[in-house]
Structure 1
Amino acid sequence: MSSSDFREANVEGVPGAAGGGHFAGLPHGSHVSADPILDLAEFQLLEDQLDNPRIARDFARDFVRLWEARHQTLRTAVEHGDVPAALDAILSLRTSSAMVGGVRLAGLAGQMEEHINNGDLGQARPLLHELAECGESTIQELKESYVLKNSTPEPDPTG
């Protein structure tokens, strides 16, 4: 299965997710903080669509492994005023968050995406801290849920 297959997963109904709603006109913090950190029903959709829970769990494990790099890429792009790089980073973060069931993180990413699309990185910058905290909470809940709790990590090829 190619990585593009993951992008085709249905994320309808996840605020700000690909194919879902959008954030036009919503003020910062609007309804996103009411969303759960993790919605396992969304993750179960991914499992169903891939017809293989192991592949979905591998995707979630990769999400956790790549979190720091994704967030740092976004932070660097925003701080350097690089709108195309910031947009690329936030789209990746929003979509992957929605796919693992991280609805609050996907919602925050949707808000940030709106600011980036408007070329207003000054409005996006304050969301970086909130996004970081929510990302860490999402990772923690993934690790505590059935998604990754009993998951065997991939062996480290470096030793």
Structure 2
Amino acid sequence: MDIRIDDTDRKIMAALQRDAGRSLDEIAREVGSSKTPVWNRIRKLRDAGVIGPQTVVLDAEALGFEACFFVLIRTSEHESKWQKKFLHALQTRPEVQEAHRLAGDIDYILKVRVKNARAYDAFYQALISEVRVYNVTALLSMEEIKSTTALPL
């Protein structure tokens, strides 16, 4: 679906990115409109797939998930059967918050959130027992400096 996005749509999306839990009245006031047109624009953006599902951002450390690892994976396997098995392994593991296929020397990078190093090792052992990989490098994040899901509208 082709959709034209104007400045008001951008203001609405920016407001939703900051806090989608606010009332429609608050968002409408912020963007200088009224409730019904804002609701219609949000519905149009959802229907077009520009706005995805609403979720809640949880504080990982407050819930005991204190370790964040970035896992670099190199593989010598590039057949579709291996890729399907690998993707299934990633999708079924809740520890994997993000997974990206890369261009260059590294084939994949994962963002893995776990309680501690022992929990990461359990994740790692389970992954390599299910899928064969050539090389795995895990990098522990010492400090999260910036984390956002907001796009620069």
TM-score bracket, shorter-length normalisation: under 0.3
TM (norm. structure 1) is 0.24
Q: More strand per residue: 1 or 2?
A: 2
Task: Give the TM-score of the pair, scaled to structure 2.
Answer: 0.25
Rg bigger for which structure? Answer: 2
